[in-house]
Copies of this chain bind each other. A is one copy, B any other.
């Protein structure tokens, strides 16, 4: 059915070994022979059998993207698609395949971990959105599977990761609000069992401490990175009369906008809103959302490239990459009015 090395060898009038050398671009093959072999390969459409190859090389050319269960909701916003785009881009460039593991339940998690890690069919993994204390990272280390995290882990010792600059991003957003004259600034945080949630809250606190000095605990409400969560959080914030709100994600900002609209309040006249992510929808919502742009696709590409580099060139000192972010000023922060 499918061609083998041996058959190509026969067709080209050389040995199996020579064909193998040609395919793997190894030296010590006469130019003329090399060309002849390539011609046969091209004409027959031969592709080496990857199972056979990886049986001997102990490498599969497959990397996994693992998305633990807790983030079902996250998966409903365009963050993951963009991340995946970035990752697949890098995979395509470097001839790796991407396997996707979306874990819906705890049982699946239990079942998948051993299978994936010990069956040796992944060369490495990218882990997105794990929570603090997630045992996944420990398992990966125990099984010696190279991996890169998207998002800072709780304890980064010996671990490579790629993340946006969450602290600075939040700091910039809140500083902007302070500069516009708002004082009672609330925040809808991300889940505080994630480092993203923690870091963006930290940026909020930093800005407030530095430029204003007063923290009102009533103005800090925990959200969950969903639209409904943002909506609920805004409702809890409203009684405390915030002049402005920093939402730790655009999706939550959309929920907040809806809550404000339903309460008959105008944005930014009654309450200013700033988000984080700069999703495509941020530009087209009403009013257009001022937000912190993070390079999601590039995060994915970088994570994949760090991993692939480790796979191709052996272990390196762990790399901690923080990508810079940028405040995109639209109208939801009330920039026109206040200036």
Contact = CB atoms under 8 A, between A and B. Distances in A.
B286 A258 contact: yes
A132 interface: no
Contacts of A92: 102-104, 108, 111-112
Contact of A60 (B51, B75, B85, B89): B51
B82 A231 contact: no
Contacts of A103: 92
A280 B78 contact: no
28 contacts: A49-B55, A49-B120, A50-B119, A50-B121, A51-B51, A51-B60, A51-B121, A55-B55, A65-B100, A75-B81, A76-B78, A76-B81, A80-B81, A81-B81, A85-B102, A85-B104, A88-B101, A88-B104, A89-B102, A89-B104, A92-B108, A92-B111, A97-B99, A99-B99, A227-B280, A227-B281, A254-B281, A286-B286
Copies in the complex: 2
Contacts of A81: 75-76, 78, 80-81
Interface string A59-84: 01010010000001001111011101
A281 B284 contact: no
Interface string A303-321: 0000000000000000000
Nearest to A231: B284
A45 interface: yes
A56 to B, nearest CB: 9
Contacts of A120: 2, 47, 49-51
Contacts of A284: 227, 231, 254-255, 258
B48 A119 contact: yes
Contacts of A47: 114-115, 118-120
Contacts of A54: 51
Nearest to A62: B99
A219 interface: no
